[in-house]
């Protein structure tokens, strides 16, 4: 119903204008005709910024140069900014020339401790120290694209400021991949530092690169979209002994092996097969020498869920399994279960509306409805506070191979930046236009 009303208003906007009444929806429709030209005007600069950010990646809570670039660009556009939010975050507020609602858009800026193996001419050669080890640094999750898209959208909307019916808040977030150990950061800290206040947005939009989609394609999910992300560390403790005399020890390697297998029964035998969940052990570490039974084995992994009750069940069953196996062998355990990012739930009503706008967006080749994923995203902290719509941006050039997210060969084509600019600008304009109040001007 909303879409039909919007399009009806657009179709009569010229007639209404001739009577001396300028409908805001009609104004937005006219602005949409300018978007393609403005993407053309600002697209090359946004791509240059993307390539610069990609070549100079920074880890979470250390995005100093990226934040400086963002702040300088927004300031040059005449956008009011606040820096140092959640350590290195930047927030810009663009007030339109016409009254209307407030909407926020968010981009994440941090890179990953991954050594790049692409053939891009602007590939990263940056190295740094992470968790005591020297590592490469790479935008292996596409955050360089996210940041560049949002900078490009800021350029477009700044040019349209006089006719913009409302306010746009640009949130450039650090540490989406998680802050360094012992530090706070990311969307959670930004929310606690009142980033959704003064002015308070009615909704928030975000996008994420998706290598499985080609450039020109966008995807969305209505309702549950990305899973909650929990992190666990298990210490399995036994008694050290000579490998030739196992009867004198309590073997944590054997206990850990049984634990890894038994944890999989939580998914297969405790939870409903219709309930999405994952229990993964990603690290098994123990022992110093081939002929010594060690004192301790370290297990570390992740749990992904959508249902809070399932989250509770997984943690409870892990404790029961650990207690039973270690007690049977005479060993002991310690479990550190950290409940991390909650699940991303796209507001159903907002998502259906925005999906309709995406389908109408000029310059978008294809719009797909995607199933939920077990990947996680701390955009959830924003969308838990206000209605949110988080969608996916195709970044792979047709015929070009690309690694997956978080891999050394993840390759995003720079043309995805201009597609992202068109999509996000269209959503913002349609959202504001659909909620703005018509203004009355003297007859011409």
pLDDT band at 401 (very low <50, low <70, confident <90, very high): confident
Q: In this model, does residue 22 exceed pLDDT 80?
A: no
pLDDT reported for residue 31: 59
Quick one: which H or E segment has residue 104?
strand 98-108
Collapsing DSSP states into helix, strand and coil, what is residue 256? helix
- Residue listed under structure tokens 């990311």: 186
Domain ranges for the chain, please list them: 22-227+343-440, 234-339
CA atoms of 65 and 128, how far apart (whole Å): 15
pTM over 0.85? The answer is yes
Query: What is the predicted pLDDT for the residue at 16?
Result: 34
Q: What distance in Å separates the CA atoms of residue 390 and residue 347, rounded to the nearest whole number? A: 9
For residues 58-69, average pLDDT: 98
Q: How many CB atoms lie within 10 A of CB 298?
A: 15
> For the residues of 232-271, what is the DSSP string, one character each?
EEEEEE-B-EETT-GGGSB-HHHHHHHHHHHHHHIIIIIS
Q: Using the 8-state DSSP alphabet, how is residue 194 labeled?
A: T
CATH superfamily for domain 22-227+343-440: Zn peptidases (3.40.630.10)
Contact 373, 345 (CB under 8 A): no
Q: What is the pLDDT of residues 275-286, one digit of tens each?
A: 999 999 999 999
Look at 25-39, 140-154, 291-305, 365-379 and tell me which has the smallest mean pLDDT.
Answer: 25-39
Class of the domain covering 234-339: alpha beta
Average pLDDT over residues 85-108: 98
């Amino acid at each position: 119903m909303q879409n039909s009303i919007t399009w009806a208003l657009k179709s009569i906007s010229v007639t209404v204008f001739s009577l001396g009444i300028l409908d805001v929806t009609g104004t937005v429709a006219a602005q949409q005709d300018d978007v393609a030209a403005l993407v053309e005007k600002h697209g090359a600069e946004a791509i240059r910024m993307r390539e610069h950010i990609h070549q100079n990646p920074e880890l979470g809570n250390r995005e100093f140069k990226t934040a400086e670039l963002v702040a300088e660009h927004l300031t040059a556009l005449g956008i009011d900014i606040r820096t140092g939010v959640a350590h290195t975050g930047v927030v810009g507020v663009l007030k339109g020339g016409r009254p209307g609602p407030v909407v926020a858009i968010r981009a994440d800026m941090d890179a990953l401790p991954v050594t790049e193996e692409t053939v891009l001419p602007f590939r990263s050669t940056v190295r740094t120290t992470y968790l005591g080890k020297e590592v490469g640094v790479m935008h292996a999750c596409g955050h360089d694209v996210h940041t560049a898209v949002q900078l490009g959208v800021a350029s477009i909307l700044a040019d349209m400021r006089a006719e913009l019916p409302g306010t746009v808040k640009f949130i450039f977030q650090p540490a989406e991949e998680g802050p360094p150990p012992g530090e706070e950061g990311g969307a959670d800290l930004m929310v606690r530092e009142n980033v959704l206040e003064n002015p308070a947005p009615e909704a928030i939009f975000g996008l994420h690169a998706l290598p499985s989609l080609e450039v020109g394609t966008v995807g969305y999910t209505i309702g549950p979209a990305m899973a909650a992300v929990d992190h666990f560390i298990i210490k399995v403790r036994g008694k050290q002994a000579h490998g030739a005399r196992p009867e004198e020890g309590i073997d944590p390697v054997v206990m850990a092996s049984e634990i890894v297998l038994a944890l999989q029964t939580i998914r297969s035998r405790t939870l409903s097969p219709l309930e999405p969940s994952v229990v993964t052990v990603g690290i098994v570490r123990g022992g110093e020498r081939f002929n010594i039974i060690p004192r301790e084995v370290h297990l570390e992994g992740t749990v992904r869920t959508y249902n809070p009750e399932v989250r509770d069940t997984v943690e409870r069953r892990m404790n029961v399994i650990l207690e039973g196996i270690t007690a049977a062998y005479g060993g002991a355990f310690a479990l550190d279960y950290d409940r991390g990012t909650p699940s991303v739930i796209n507001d159903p009503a907002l998502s259906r509306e925005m999906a309709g706008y995406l389908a109408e967006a000029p310059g978008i080749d294809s719009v797909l409805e995607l199933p939920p994923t077990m990947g996680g995203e701390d955009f959830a902290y924003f969308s838990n506070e206000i209605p949110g719509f988080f969608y996916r941006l195709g970044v792979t050039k047709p015929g070009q191979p690309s690694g997956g997210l978080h891999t050394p060969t993840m390759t995003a084509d720079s043309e995805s930046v201009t597609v992202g600019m068109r999509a996000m600008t269209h959503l913002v304009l349609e959202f504001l236009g659909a909620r703005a109040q018509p203004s009355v001007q003297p007859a011409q």
